[in-house]
């Protein structure tokens, strides 16, 4: 440890502290020059880990028999404990395998489809992490909090960070015109406990999806926390499709890894869980630890540990009813890794070339409620362009052979998406049609036979937020089989592909959204950014430990 003290002495000039080894005591006394913040950052750098082992658990939730009739607190706790019993086994297994953090899914403790009244017995008061609370040691400090106490103890007893999703209730005054009739705000909430059982993060989901039992927070919360193995941000499920908090955490708060509990229902061709979540990690150039609930009847499956360059591990299972734990070692600071993909100018190539000659067999078709412009891949090889509004999509391709009973199309869509007509999408896609009838192009299809020797897809995107997707037959990803070039082309590599369902560039033009949301800063986030006192505590703790 003596060499660390020497290193720190070279850079830090305003703190007196002690570095101790087994037989050496070094006292470093400084003058008054640089700030405590700089010193703390150096300490974090010295003690940081280059990689860490992560776990995510896809949980088959034990659901209540009835979500329309209120139950007692004891009945609610009994159900939640049955689910936590299963999560406990996963948490212990993760710790035994050497994982430093485990993510569990959204709605994992009690399920979904509640009313405001029937969800209430499942909720607890979850305080702001600034209160410095270890529920395992002080379970009654904030009232009746048995779920938080148990989760905290699981983290503490297994020396692992635990990420869980539960419900938070916050009392409000009837004098407040927005206060609900039951006198409480109710939030879909993620909590994080560190390896000592301390509550270090709390996040209230902002973009609810048919969740009438919960309230929308006043503004998006930007929640981060630091560890020896990187800086983490957290949000939930539907949040990933919006600028705040998802993009802001990466772009402005520079997190290394996103923690992502979700209850994701798969929707082909662009929004299966493993497909979009892996694409988001690549497009945003961060790690994403995604834990999905598992419910085959609702098409809920698809969890993974995704690095910027490629999925580390993933799971998609529509055959069984059981849960699944996944492990992978990932870079603590992926943007500094040698495997990190380069920054991409998504429109550079597409705007530099002359569009390929106009096709004679173009037509319109729908993917869900979005009207695409399509053109058929008539030959086994070719160059095609199809446009819609400001977006032109270019495709160069070569099939191994053209299967007689399969049709592929190139499609372009630019506009407000779906029934809501609030989110602006730009999508370039090459996809397999459900049948040789072109009216089926864009419908759900899960198997294919056609292999591609080469493909190159690009588009004249007006946004920098583009997510590259390649989905293979039987809903599989293509790790290490494609890449995005710096000029925005999505291309295959390492030779012949497996049979392809879709190759897509999924763009989100957030500034063209209806009622676009601007970011804000939560107390949890600013705690780790701006408080010199905390930095001094870190310094002193480090000095004592070494």
Q: Is 284 exposed, middle or buried (0-12, 13-18, 19+ CB in 10 A)?
A: buried
Residue with tokens 């499920």: 237
The yes-or-no answer on residue 312 being catalytic is no
Strand blocks (E) in 180-239: 184-193, 199-204, 224-227, 230-234
CA-CA distance, 426 to 413, in Å (whole number)?
Answer: 6
Calculate what percentage of the chain has a pLDDT beyond 70. 85
Catalytic residue from among 5, 53, 106, 312: 106
Indicate the helix (H) or strand (E) that contains 523: helix 523-530
The yes-or-no answer on residue 4 being catalytic is no
Any residues with CB less than 8 A from the CB of 332 and at least 6 apart, and which?
Answer: 48, 49, 50, 51, 52, 229, 230, 256, 257
CA-CA distance, 127 to 396, in Å (whole number)?
Answer: 54
Closest CA to 221 of 528, 529, 525, 530: 525
Catalytic residue from among 136, 237, 393, 433: 237
In the prediction, which pLDDT does 150 show? 98
Q: Is 181 exposed, middle or buried (0-12, 13-18, 19+ CB in 10 A)?
A: exposed
CA-CA distance, 242 to 79, in Å (whole number)?
Answer: 33
Indicate the helix (H) or strand (E) that contains 482: strand 482-484
Six token digits for residue 143: 């009232």
Within 10 Å of residue 495's Cβ, how many Cβ atoms? 8
In the prediction, which pLDDT does 359 show? 65
Any residues with CB less than 8 A from the CB of 354 and at least 6 apart, and which?
Answer: none
Contact of 165 with 261, CB cutoff 8 Å: yes
CA-CA distance, 475 to 469, in Å (whole number)?
Answer: 12
Question: Which residues are 217's β-sheet partners?
Answer: none
Contact of 49 with 332, CB cutoff 8 Å: yes
- Between the alpha carbon of residue 125 and those of residues 72, 195, 253, the distances in Å are 17, 22, 27
Closest CA to 162 of 255, 289, 288, 48: 289
Closest CA to 337 of 287, 386, 264: 287
In the prediction, which pLDDT does 47 show? 54
CA-CA distance, 418 to 371, in Å (whole number)?
Answer: 10
Q: Is 496 exposed, middle or buried (0-12, 13-18, 19+ CB in 10 A)?
A: exposed
Q: Are strands 424-432 and 184-193 parallel, antiparallel or unpaired?
A: unpaired
Six token digits for residue 386: 């199809």
Q: How far is CA 343 from the centre of its chain?
A: 19
Cα of first residue to Cα of last residue in the chain, in angstroms, is 7
Question: Which residues are 226's β-sheet partners?
Answer: 231
CA-CA distance, 450 to 397, in Å (whole number)?
Answer: 12
Q: Could you list the pLDDT tens digit for every one of the 546 residues in the chain? A: 333 333 333 333 333 333 333 333 333 333 334 444 444 444 444 457 999 999 999 999 999 999 999 999 999 999 999 999 999 999 999 999 999 999 999 999 999 999 999 999 999 999 999 999 999 999 999 999 999 999 999 999 999 999 999 999 999 998 888 999 999 999 999 999 999 999 999 999 999 999 999 999 999 999 999 999 999 999 999 999 999 999 999 999 999 999 999 999 999 999 999 999 999 999 999 999 999 999 999 999 999 999 999 999 999 999 999 999 999 999 999 998 888 888 999 999 999 999 998 667 799 999 999 999 999 999 999 999 999 999 999 999 999 988 999 999 999 999 999 988 999 999 999 999 999 999 999 999 999 999 999 999 999 999 999 999 999 999 999 999 999 999 999 999 988 889 999 999 999 999 999 974 433 333 344 333 333 334 443 434 443 343
Task: State pLDDT tens for residues 373-407.
Answer: 999 999 999 999 999 999 999 999 999 988 999 99
In the prediction, which pLDDT does 535 show? 40
Residue with tokens 């096709």: 359
Six token digits for residue 495: 């030779």
Catalytic residue from among 156, 169, 198, 205: 205
CA-CA distance, 305 to 328, in Å (whole number)?
Answer: 7
The yes-or-no answer on residue 219 being catalytic is no
Contact of 266 with 302, CB cutoff 8 Å: yes
CB pairs under 8 A, 24+ apart, for 48-51? Answer: 48/228, 48/229, 48/230, 48/332, 48/333, 49/228, 49/229, 49/332, 50/331, 50/332, 50/333, 51/229, 51/329, 51/330, 51/331, 51/332
CA-CA distance, 543 to 183, in Å (whole number)?
Answer: 47
Any residues with CB less than 8 A from the CB of 85 and at least 6 apart, and which?
Answer: none
CA-CA distance, 257 to 56, in Å (whole number)?
Answer: 13
Closest CA to 245 of 229, 258, 264, 263: 258
Contact of 165 with 182, CB cutoff 8 Å: no
**SS3 letters for 121-176?**
HHCECCCCHHHCCCCCCCCCCCCCCHHHHHHHHHHHHHCCEEEEEEEEEEECCCCC
Q: Please tell me the pTM assigned to this model.
A: 0.86
In the prediction, which pLDDT does 255 show? 98
Within 10 Å of residue 267's Cβ, how many Cβ atoms? 15
Six token digits for residue 106: 């959204």
Any residues with CB less than 8 A from the CB of 449 and at least 6 apart, and which?
Answer: 403, 406, 473, 499
Q: How far is CA 300 from the centre of its chain?
A: 16
């Amino acid at each position: 440890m003596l060499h660390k003290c020497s290193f720190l002495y070279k850079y830090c000039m305003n703190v007196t502290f002690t570095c101790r080894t087994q037989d050496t005591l070094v006292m470093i006394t400084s003058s008054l020059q640089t700030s405590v913040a700089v010193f703390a950052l150096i300490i974090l750098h010295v003690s940081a880990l280059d990689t860490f082992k992560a776990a995510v658990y896809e949980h088959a939730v034990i659901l209540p028999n009835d979500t329309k009739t209120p139950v007692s607190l004891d009945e609610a706790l009994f159900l939640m404990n049955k689910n936590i019993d299963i999560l406990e086994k996963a948490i212990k297994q993760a710790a035994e395998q050497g994982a430093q953090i485990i993510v569990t899914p959204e709605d994992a403790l009690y399920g979904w489809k509640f009313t405001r009244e029937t969800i209430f017995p499942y909720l607890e008061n979850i305080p702001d992490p600034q209160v410095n609370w270890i529920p395992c040691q002080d379970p009654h400090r904030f009232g009746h909090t048995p779920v938080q106490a148990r989760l905290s103890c699981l983290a503490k007893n297994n020396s692992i960070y635990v990420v869980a999703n539960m419900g938070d209730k916050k009392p409000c005054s009837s004098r407040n015109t927005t206060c609900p009739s039951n006198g409480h705000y109710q939030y879909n909430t993620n909590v994080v406990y560190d390896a000592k059982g301390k509550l270090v993060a709390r996040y209230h989901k902002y973009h609810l999806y048919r969740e009438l039992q919960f309230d929308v927070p006043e503004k998006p919360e930007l929640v981060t926390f630091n560890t020896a193995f990187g800086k983490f941000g957290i949000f939930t499920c539907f949040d990933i499709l919006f600028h705040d908090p998802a993009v802001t955490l990466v772009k402005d708060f520079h997190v290394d890894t996103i923690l992502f509990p979700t209850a994701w229902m798969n929707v082909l061709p662009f929004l299966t869980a493993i497909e979009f979540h892996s694409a988001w990690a690549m497009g945003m150039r961060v790690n994403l630890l995604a834990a999905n609930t598992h419910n085959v009847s609702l098409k809920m499956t698809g969890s993974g540990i995704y690095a910027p360059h490629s999925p580390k591990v993933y799971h998609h299972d529509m055959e069984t009813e059981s849960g699944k734990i996944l492990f992978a070692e990932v870079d603590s600071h992926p943007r500094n890794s040698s495997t990190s993909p380069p920054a991409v100018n998504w429109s550079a190539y597409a705007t530099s070339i002359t569009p390929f000659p106009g096709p004679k067999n173009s037509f319109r078709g729908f993917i869900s409620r979005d009207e695409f412009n399509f053109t058929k891949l008539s030959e086994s090889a070719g160059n095609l362009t199809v446009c819609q509004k400001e977006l032109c999509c270019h495709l160069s391709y070569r099939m191994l052979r053209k299967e007689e009973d399969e049709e592929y199309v190139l499609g372009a869509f630019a506009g407000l998406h779906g029934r809501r007509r609030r989110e602006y999408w730009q999508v370039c896609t090459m996809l397999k049609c459900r049948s040789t009838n072109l009216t089926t192009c864009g419908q759900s299809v899960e198997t294919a036979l056609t292999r591609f020797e080469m493909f190159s897809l690009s588009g004249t995107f007006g946004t920098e937020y583009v997510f590259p997707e390649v989905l293979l037959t039987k809903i599989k990803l293509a790790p290490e089989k494609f890449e995005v070039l710096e000029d925005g082309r999505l291309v295959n590599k390492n030779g012949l592909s497996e049979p392809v369902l879709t190759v897509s560039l999924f763009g989100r033009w957030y500034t063209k959204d209806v009622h676009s949301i601007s970011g804000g800063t939560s107390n949890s986030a600013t705690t780790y950014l701006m408080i010199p006192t905390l930095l001094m505590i870190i310094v002193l703790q480090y000095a004592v430990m070494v």
